[in-house]
Amino acid sequence: SQGRGRGPDDHHLLNSVTKSFVGMLAGIAVQQGRLDVAAPVRHYLPDFTGSSWEGTTVRHLLDMTSGVDYGEDYEDENADFWHETSVVGWRPALVTATTPATLREFARVREGKDQADGASFHYRTINTCVLGMALEAACGQPLQHLLTDLLWRPLRTRQDAAIVVDRAHFPYVGAGMNTCAEDLLRFGAMMVNGGCVDGVQVVPADWIDDTLHGNEEVRAQFASGSNANMRGWHYRNQVWVRGGERPVMFAMGIHGQLVYMDPARQFVAMKFSSQPRPVDSPMWLDTFTAIDAISDYLSPA
């Protein structure tokens, strides 16, 4: 439906829904033999040696279990997350003479860890940005070209997507993608259809299955991490998953962006929002409850 002058063909910022596109692109690169999830970050980004990323693997990036010291409290105006966004122009008031000029430089100069790599789930947007850098190095192509050629066009989308870039034209894949509603639904439809679009396998089916079901390690990491109150959930390959007998995948972004993906029912729903607060837990719960009710009504047990 149309609201506040916007319709299904208008673009909207996805915020962290962007991350799930990067996670699925990684699965394609793995299938092609170009990306090794067990490899250390420094294998693809040798200039990161000796930084916060020493000992971090691609798998740690994918599942948000790296140890990098990086704060993402959205209510803290001085959080590392907001300083990272200042690199792409979102928080100009935070820019100083020492602000890194690019996202790569911002990530490369991180120092220290606040946990051991792989110890627990700790959501950090910078992980996705570094994952994108590793993908670019592994595949030898600009990241926006990889996203376009391997994912966006195969989805048979109606419109171009748009993405925020830094001064070096590296895309802000942590939060900067913009799409229309219909094309975002196409992404969700691909996810619930085992990675397939119109009979063509876009994302490997086993990557989707691994995302949906995870494993005991990733569930233990989530249970001991920063979102331990979300019992029965896990985070895998840049996708949130509510477990149980009928697991549901979610791509989520601050201020209320959501793609709800239920493979068992072949049901997809999405929501663009401009909620005042970055994270509003009661509103998220109401949203999940409402979409669950719609799904139950359309596909009664």
Beta-sheet pairing, 196-197 with 177-180 = unpaired
Helix (H) or strand (E) holding 294: helix 281-298
Separation of alpha carbons 235 and 294, rounded Å: 24
**Residue of 16, 51, 52, 86 with catalytic role:** 16
CA terminus-to-terminus distance, the chain: 28
Report residue 111 as tokens. 């120092």
Quote the tokens at residue 207: 């990557």
**16 carries an active-site annotation:** yes
Structural tokens at position 133: 């850098």
Q: Whose structure tokens read 């009928």?
A: 246
265-269: long-range contacts, CB 8 A cutoff, minimum separation 24: 265/295, 265/298, 265/299, 266/192, 266/193, 267/192, 267/295, 267/298, 267/299, 268/185, 268/188, 268/189, 268/191, 268/192, 269/188, 269/294, 269/295
CA distance 16 to 175: 4
DSSP letters along 221-247, please? HHHTSTTTTSTTEEEETTEEEE-SSS-
Show the beta-strand stretches assigned E in the chain. Answer: 11-13, 162-163, 177-180, 196-197, 200-201, 233-236, 239-242, 248-253, 257-262, 267-271
Q: Which residues are catalytic?
A: 16
